[in-house]
Amino acid sequence: METKICTKCKETKTIDLFYKRSDQAGKYTSHCKACKRSHDNAHSSLPEIKIKRSEYFKKLRSTPEYKAKESVYRYKYNSLPKVKEAKKLKQRILRLNPNFVQQERLREVEYAKANPEKFAMKTRNRKIAKLQRTPFWLNPGQKFEMESIYKYCSALRSIGLDYEVDHIVPLQGKTVFGLHVPWNLQILTASENAKKGNRI
């Protein structure tokens, strides 16, 4: 195999250890790949070069063309089945952690304080969905049973137990809608309820 002397390290190396020149066909660089990489790394680590590169990429990322390409790339990447499954698994693991559930609750409280109109709209939509899913044919005994379930859950919360009333079949599910009836209610811990979400 053809050999060449590197003008940097003065060593004789095979031609495959040199980069091909783009300006001259069939020619190779005078420095070997190892020397070229060490030179480029030293040059890139200079403070002025770092600042210059940072400003260049900051300016590049602010252009509409770059943002459009980045948006398309993120959409395609997040649409991959493996990425979706990984995100779902991560959320399931996090919801098993009581600390994560508590942090989510605190975040919701802070969001409600910062955005009262949006929180009021969310609460209103929830009430409307509950009213729409409450059958008119419920008798007084069934209504009393529902009130008793909510009172029992409230009593548990008053002594420091983090329990919530959950609809077995969600009122606003993605594929099916449940009814606001006593046999569709159950009491779960907050972490279990958060883990369940709008799923059966």
Span 116-170, pLDDT tens digits: 887 777 777 777 777 778 888 889 888 899 889 888 988 888 888 888 888 888 8
Residues of the chain with pLDDT under 50: none
What is the pTM for the complete model shown?
0.43
**Per-residue pLDDT, 72:** 92
Cα dist. 169→136, 140, 165, 176, 185 in Å?
A: 19, 22, 12, 8, 9
**Per-residue pLDDT, 73:** 92
Return all residues near 112 (Cβ < 8 A) that are at least 6 apart.
119
Task: Report d(CA 8, CA 195) in Å as an integer.
Answer: 61
Token pair of 168 as six digits = 């077995």
- Is the CB of residue 6 less than 8 Å from the CB of residue 35? yes
Within 10 A of 191 (CB to CB), how many other CB atoms are there?
A: 19
